[in-house]
Structure 1
Amino acid sequence: MTDQPIGIHHVTAITDDAMRNYKFFTEVLGMRLVKKTVNQDDIHTYHTFFADDEGSPGTDMTFFDFPGIPQGVRGTNSISRVGFRVPDDAALEYYLDRFKKNDVKNEGIRTLFGKKALPFEEADGQRYQLFSDENNEGVASGKPWKEGPVPADKAIYGLGPVEITVSYFDEFKQILFDVYGMRLNQETEDVALIETGEGGNGGQVILRKDTGKAGMEGYGQVHHVSFRVKDHEAIKQWENKYDEMGLRHSGLVDRFYFEALYTRIGNILVELSTDGPGFMGDEPYETLGESLSLPPFLEPQRDYIESQIKPFDTTRS
């Protein structure tokens, strides 16, 4: 029997400018670049990972860099907003002031499902929101970036609830229950808060119903969401479960930093990822993300890869 996913593992979005995106995440949001590598399915493009101090599972927001790609179109049947966790309500006030100073578009602090949140946008239109962990219980957070520009008691230290908007609301909700063993926390008209594992901000999905125009993939949009499973044995059990249920899937994919398994639920690409090995095995802690990191199977192609991608400086040490 498969266990339900532990929580959110990572979210991957699309940018058209890796350097602009890097500066926003490190200098404004205060998240650490823990890995600068390439998209293993398209080695001509970057894949960057922003996370907590050590790249802990459940903390990383990742980006495919596709220069020249058209801007995405917001709409239904998409992953519509990504959440991040901060320690308390005071941290939201800190970021609200920080956003004002850095001209970051935001909607002000509001209450969502009984917790304080701060929705905001990146320059390319990618949508996020900060969630306060004040009074939160459930999936443990990560560790604030020690050398980051945001004080440790205010800093982002994990992924928060991920918002998914679909036209097939009831069907998608039932799949989350029946396939992944998730459970309903709260529900209002056309919006449901669904959780997995120990729950709380690190294990929740906000599911919204919208029967309007469908979104289109491009920069400023999310590519996929991944949920955490413990290890190789656990993800293998999920592969078997997908087979038994007749769900089409990718088969196990070794990403070197974790193992992955992909399936599509309607229009939404859902990944399961193992908690390890993680991002600390091939670079020193002090210089994580400063050099181009390649998994062993791509290392023989390093010279070619470096000739194809546009360098950008991420040195901080």
Structure 2
Amino acid sequence: MANGIHHVTAIAGPARRNLDFYTRVLGQRFVKKTVNFDDPGTYHFYFGDEAGNPGTIMTFFPWEHVAPGRLGIGETQETSYRVPKASLGFWTHRFIEQGVVHDKLEQRFGQTVLPFKDPDGMRLALVGIEGIEQEAAWTVPGIPAEHALRGFYGVTLLLDKIEATAAVLTDVFGFEETATEGYITRYQVPGIEIGGVVDLRAAGEFLPARPGAGSVHHVAFQAKDDTEQAEMAEKLRKNHGLHPTEQKDRDYFRSIYFRSPGGVLFEIATLDPGFAVDEPKDSLGQALKLPKGLEGFRARIEDMLPDLGDEMVAEQ
């Protein structure tokens, strides 16, 4: 098995601000507009590439008045995207123009990286990759194709100790340890370029994470189908003493969840049926989609949801 990242789900503040940043400022496609299955009065946004391919999907639960989170042990410290290396200058200027909080370019594992934050303080980064200019890219006004995002590079997890989490990554998901730099050990899936990197940062004794705006809720890894997902769940139980949940139908994938040894919530999500199961690819994200059990409450739910105004990005 070789399984990269499927999606990353985080908590945000006001929905309109979140939608504007990830579509207009970062240039991702608004792939799906639905609701939090456990809190239907709250949106669940999905942002990604043109088709909503696994490895490109950032999702959010935006709560209008949520308190800020606090970075700490047992949390995703940073989520990084791939961009052509020659585009890092473009993105630096764009962040200045758009008022995006960002740091100077830095070197990590021999790569040039531009760290930045979204409006809720979520820690993000752009990793410059050579030779990906010709990869397909979703574009929006102001972001030419040659500079657009090309899916996830990976995530950095902040942990007390890394050994037990590393064992899950290598045994269950097919990652391999490739390098260490300072307190960070890098794990990669051979042959997977998009979403194929997990960095584990050993921080020792430190404050635990406090969920809130700007914090990652969970990281989801790919399973080809139900059979592979079941095999991964069995490995978690037998080899690691972990107990994933029963399978949950999320309409666009089927998921199981478990708390990793380092405290980070992991999900394993199937590749099927995908985001085009309930609306054409050309109109992804335009209509509010509700789970079957909630369709009868559509009018009430629409009344509860925040107004998104005219924040939808014009598509090219």
The alignment's TM-score, normalised by the length of structure 1, stands at 0.91
Picking from 286, 289, 295, the partner of 1:293 is: 289
Picking from 254, 267, 273, the partner of 2:269 is: 273
Picking from 122, 127, 132, the partner of 2:128 is: 132
User: Shift in Å at residue 135 of structure 1?
Assistant: 5.4
- Cα distance in 2, alignment partners of residues 311 and 135 from structure 1: 41
The residue correspondences of 1:257-268 to structure 2 (distance < 5 A) are 257-266=252-261, 267-268=263-264
**Structure 1 pair 199/185, CA: closer, same or farther in 2 (3 Å)?**
farther
- Cα distance in 1, alignment partners of residues 77 and 41 from structure 2: 27
User: Shift in Å at residue 12 of structure 1?
Assistant: 0.5
Deviations 1:155-214 (A, max 9, x none): 012011201010122332233234433210101332101012524452010110112222
The answer to which of 39-48 and 170-179 deviates more is 170-179
Picking from 28, 31, 37, the partner of 1:31 is: 28
Does the Cα contact within 8 Å between 1:169 and 1:207 map onto a contact in 2?
A: yes
- Cα distance in 2, alignment partners of residues 179 and 231 from structure 1: 15
Does the Cα contact within 8 Å between 1:133 and 1:201 map onto a contact in 2?
A: no
- Cα distance in 2, alignment partners of residues 72 and 142 from structure 1: 35
Give secondary structure in 2 for the equivalent of 1:280. Answer: helix
- The structure 1 segments of at least 4 consecutive aligned residues displaced by more than 6 Å after TM superposition are none
Picking from 243, 247, 252, the partner of 1:252 is: 247
Deviations 1:289-317 (A, max 9, x none): 12211233332222232122223145446
Does the Cα contact within 8 Å between 1:185 and 1:193 map onto a contact in 2?
A: yes
User: Shift in Å at residue 66 of structure 1?
Assistant: 2.0
**Structure 1 pair 285/171, CA: closer, same or farther in 2 (3 Å)?**
closer
- Cα distance in 2, alignment partners of residues 199 and 56 from structure 1: 13
**Corresponding letter in the other structure for 1:182:** F
Which residue matches 1:217? 211
- Cα distance in 1, alignment partners of residues 297 and 157 from structure 2: 37
Q: Unpaired runs of 5+ in structure 1?
A: none
The residue correspondences of 1:236-251 to structure 2 (distance < 5 A) are 236-245=230-239, 246-251=241-246
Picking from 225, 231, 234, the partner of 2:225 is: 231
Which residue matches 2:49? 52
Does the Cα contact within 8 Å between 2:244 and 2:258 map onto a contact in 1?
A: yes
Q: Unpaired runs of 5+ in structure 2?
A: none
- The CA RMSD measured in Å over matched residues stands at 2.0
The answer to which of 297-306 and 121-130 deviates more is 297-306
Does the Cα contact within 8 Å between 2:18 and 2:62 map onto a contact in 1?
A: no
Does the Cα contact within 8 Å between 1:131 and 1:201 map onto a contact in 2?
A: no
Give secondary structure in 1 for the equivalent of 2:275. Answer: coil
Give secondary structure in 2 for the equivalent of 1:238. Answer: helix
Which residue matches 2:12? 15
The answer to which of 236-245 and 116-125 deviates more is 236-245
Q: Aligned pair 1:306/2:299, yes or no?
A: no
Aligned residue pairs, count: 309
